Amino acid sequence: DLGPLSEAGERIMGVAQPYLGAPYRLGGDTASGIDCSGLTKAVYARFGCDLPRQSRLQAGLGTPVAATELAPGDLLFFATNRDVGISHVGIYLGSGRMLHSSPRRGGVGVDRLPGTDYERWFVAARRLARPGGFDAALGTTETPGRRK
């Protein structure tokens, strides 16, 4: 049990509900199989944000966020192989947890960051501009990024 989430984290989980437990599938973008960037693209699309399909391209959007300033909805980027660069993305839920799809966990779910390999692999976080629905749902302010 990961404990309770903030209201904003719960709202993200509500939007992601159709994908929870979906198996990991490289290049997948449906509840029958989805990868990390497919999941972030799908969740953000529900709020009217159009993200590129690849995590390394998603990492170029929005504004940088320090690890100490993370807020629910921020995109987290990881380099699981430093020679390759950014190779994984998740959505921060608050309280040190993220929603992501990973072959390591077998699909879509929530994992803690502190004390895990993901903490070690973390390279960047970005905050995207969020249409009114996203801001209203999460209680956040808008910052520069890309809109649909």
Q: Is 36 a catalytic residue?
A: yes
Q: Model pTM greater than 0.85? A: yes
For 4, 5, 34, 115, the CA distances from 55, given in Å and listed in that order, are 28, 25, 13, 23
Token reading at 66 = 């320090």
Kindly report the number of other CB atoms within 10 A of residue 52's CB atom.
15
- Choose, from 11, 41, 88, 130, the residue flagged as catalytic: 88
The predicted model gives 76-85 an average pLDDT of 92
What confidence category does residue 100 fall into, taking pLDDT thresholds of 50, 70 and 90? very high
Please identify which of the residues 15, 34, 36, 99 carries the catalytic annotation.
Answer: 36
The two three-digit tokens of residue 64, written as one number: 């940088």
pLDDT of 144 > 50? The answer is no
Q: How far apart are CA 129 and CA 108, in angstroms?
A: 24
- Which of 11, 97, 100, 130 is labelled catalytic? 100
- Strands in 49-119 per DSSP E: 63-64, 75-78, 88-94, 97-102, 107-112
pLDDT at position 34 = 98
Greater confidence (133 vs 63) lies with: 63
d(CA 73, CA 63): 13
Candidate from 46-50, 61-65, 89-93 with smallest mean pLDDT: 46-50
Active site residue 100: yes
Res. 36: pLDDT tops 60: yes
The pLDDT score that the predictor gives to residue 1 is 57
Is pLDDT at 138 greater than 80 in this prediction? Answer: no
Task: Give the residue among 102, 71, 91, 77 at the shortest CA–CA distance from 15.
Answer: 91
